[in-house]
Amino acid sequence: MLQVIIFDHDITTRTFLRRVISERSTKKASRIALFGDCGTITAAEDYISKADGQLLVFIGLNHNSDSALQLGRSVYAKNHDSFIVYLLESHADVQQLAESLVKISGIIIKPTSKEMLCRVLDKLEEEYQEIFESEQDEYLVLNSQGQTFRLALNRILYFEAIEKKVTIWTDKQSISVRVALGVIEGMLPEKRFVRCHRSYIVNIDKIDSVNFGRMELNLQNGDNVYIARSYKSTIKKLLGLKEDFDGI
């Protein structure tokens, strides 16, 4: 969830932003939530220090512009993926903002309309969703018996189900979790992993060779994984092999 912090000396601006963002956050598909709003730099810094994860911070560039710009730098230093939208009094402030070399995710000239604010929020929520999906695609996060495992997908060789546990084999270690193999399969990107047996899922990029005579996949670390006949056609399709191919 993208946490929103509003800083502006003008209470009318803060009230307007708070109302629109609060209305938006109640929608089912929304990925934003209001964390806090304030009219002083000290309070804004306190909110930023307490918030976790990726932020969307609205910063009013008023009479104390140097402090406001420094606040933006602090947001960026805490999380490079955070979004910073500057609230300007006039178009003349754009030049000062450009010369400050701060990260700018959006600019709003006050007073603004609900339509304009929603357009900015639409754009930023879309960018946040892309970042979120990218992170989800690059890592597998599993919770098992009170522990959380975060594994880089490109390090995983294969998954092996034995009784009620699944062993995750990586290029450096093996980890056993009490999670059904079918549940894990649903969490993996289809173009990168394939089910080849009721007990195995393999990383396609880690396949060194295939032998349909022995019904085995030979992996880069030297391990061999069984192929069930019911998955044979699927394996051939994913590897770009012809249906009549049965060699190594």
**CA 101/CA 88 separation, integer angstroms:** 16
> Which pTM was predicted?
0.56
Phi, psi of 81 (to 5 degrees): -95, 0
Average pLDDT score over residue span 26-50: 90
Summarize pLDDT for 150-199 with one digit per residue, the tens. 788 989 999 999 988 999 999 888 999 999 999 999 989 888 899 999 99
The percentage of the chain sitting over the pLDDT mark of 90, rounded to a whole number, equals 49
In angstroms, the first-to-last Cα distance of the chain is 47
Q: In this predicted model, what pLDDT tens digit does every residue of 65-84 receive, in sequence order?
A: 888 999 998 888 887 778 99
Residue 87: the pLDDT is: 95
Domain with CATH 2.40.50.1020 in the chain: 145-238
Task: Assess if CATH 2.40.50.1020 describes domain 145-238.
Answer: yes
Domain at 2-137: CATH code: 3.40.50.2300
For tokens 């402090």, name the residue: 67
Task: Locate CATH 3.40.50.2300 in the chain.
Answer: 2-137
Q: What is the pLDDT of residue 6?
A: 97
Name the nearest CA neighbour of 181 among 218, 228, 118: 228
Residues in a beta bridge with 162: 165
pLDDT digits (tens, 9 = 90+) for 124-145: 988 887 766 655 558 888 887 7
40 DSSP 8-state letter: S
